[in-house]
Amino acid sequence: MGEAAHQHGRGERLLTAVEAGRLLGVNPRWLLAQARERRVPHHRLGRQVRFSEAQIREILAATEVRPHPPRTKVAAEVIALPRRLFPDERGRP
């Protein structure tokens, strides 16, 4: 990490938005906008915004998208039924 990284009270480094954005793979301006809107955890030191490594992990955990559970056999069979078996909203088969 660059020289702008600082030590956090718990021994963790505090990263700039550029460094944190590089780790997350996002634009630092987007990350700063999210911090300004209080959508992501961060530290504000005067006008400076910093992110701890724990906060980076927290951001990743909060934005994780999990896959849908597998469909049951019955649900898959209903989805596979021909459309002609279900009348449309006008009552036509």
For residue 8, give the amino acid letter.
Answer: H
- 4 vs 54, more confident: 54
User: In this prediction, what percent of the chain has a pLDDT beyond 90?
Assistant: 56
Cα–Cα distance for residue pair 10/21, rounded to 1 Å: 22
**Counting beta carbons within 10 angstroms of the beta carbon of residue 8, is it exposed (0 to 12), middle (13 to 18) or buried (19 or more)?**
middle
For residue 34, the one-letter residue type is Q
pLDDT in tens, 4-39: 455 555 678 999 999 999 999 999 999 999 999 999
Taking the model in full, what pTM does it have? 0.64
Q: Give the Cα separation of 41 and 50 in Å (integer).
A: 10
